[in-house]
Homo-oligomer: A and B are copies of this chain.
Amino acid sequence: MSSNYGNQMTTISDVAREAKVSTATVSRVLNKSDKVRSITRDRVNAVIRKLNFIPNVNALGLQRKKTKTVGLIFPDASAYYFAEIIQGINRHLSQNDHQILISSAHDEAEEIKIVNGFVKGGRIDGLIMMMPSANGNNGFKIPLAYEIPEVFISCEINAPRATTILLDNYNAAREMVEHLSRLGHKRIAFIHGGEHNYDARERYRGYVDGRRICQADEDVNLEVVGNFTESSGFQATLELMKCKPQPTAIFAANDAMAIGAIEAARALKLRVPSDLAIVGFDDISSAAYMDPALTTVHVPLRRLGRLAAEALLKNLNTDSAERTTEKIIIPLQHVIRRSCGSEQTVKSESF
């Protein structure tokens, strides 16, 4: 049983002994202090290389109160979202010599517990949180009290001295409705992603406003609530098509539900887009390969991740008093494909 780091950890003392200097000097070399004679520096560096010495992170963290580690919290749900964003974050952080500690939380109580452990345990220097279900008024207060830099992705907490990164869901959704309207649709249905989700709420808001602006039908029967899964999109569509008069277009709050909607249309022997136009949101990778290819809104998830990482790094060496409250909004672009029935801008998918 038990075991320490297993093999011999080389420590700074080993290096000092071998190089015939004190640990202080080794430390100065490691930290690129300028007050070391170059001949000494070379000797120490040679030993460091020879022994393959890497400073112990725990000792560093204990002493410096910095761990070069960033915490990343995300909900269990959307694997695709998560995977893409984390890829963006990861790339940028590792290029800047920082590590990522991850954890997923189902609810806010769990989230608070995790963040609490990370921060008070001295594990992390900064925090990136993805929690679309949070909304300022449900008591999500604790993490904000900590004085490490924080970046919130897609949630509407108005966190002072933190950075919030949001997608411009509202305008993209409104413009999508306008696009459908220009194609002649009057009865444009919407499959909601669920009240508890920030992105979903914003997309819905864009839909409602777009519908009004275009003077399309404002029938509440044209709105059904799904939960971002294919099967909910399928069910929602069956529901919507019972409505009289039937909708001629369906706008799903994400691509997965749009795929379910297409499947449902097929089950109902409706042709997409001629009988029923269907559009989504996200531009997942398969959207371009489906039949018909899905008209949707492109969401640059990796870029989102990179922006989050950049924002965090910027604040990592900043005293909390100097930090500002920032909100970054990412504009979104439509990708017009076949499923909306528009022929005007059919981009040839470049294989």
Contact = CB atoms under 8 A, between A and B. Distances in A.
B122 A57 contact: yes
Contact of A100 (B101, B145, B234): B101
Contact of A62 (B6, B10, B58, B91): B58
A62 B59 contact: yes
Interface string A80-115: 101110110011001000011111100000000000
B120 A10 contact: yes
Interface stretch (A38-46, A216-224, A241-249, A317-325): A317-325
Interface in A262-277: 262-263, 266
In the complex this chain forms, how many copies of it are found? 2
A194 interface: no
A292 to B, nearest CB: 9
B317 A120 contact: no
Contact of A320 (B3, B91, B119, B230): B3
A85 to B, nearest CB: 10
Interface residues on A, range: 35 or more
Contacts of A102: 86, 90, 99-102
A280 to B, nearest CB: 12
A61 interface: yes
Interface string A306-341: 000000000001111000000000000000000000
A174 interface: no
- Greatest chain B CB density within 10 A among A57, A291, A319 is at A57
B54 A121 contact: yes
19 contacts: A1-B318, A5-B119, A6-B146, A6-B148, A7-B146, A9-B122, A54-B117, A57-B123, A58-B122, A83-B83, A87-B104, A99-B102, A100-B101, A101-B102, A230-B289, A234-B351, A256-B285, A260-B289, A291-B291
Given A53-B120, A260-B289, A260-B351, 15 more contacts: A3-B319, A3-B320, A4-B65, A7-B147, A10-B120, A54-B120, A57-B58, A58-B61, A61-B61, A69-B101, A86-B102, A90-B102, A90-B103, A100-B103, A259-B289
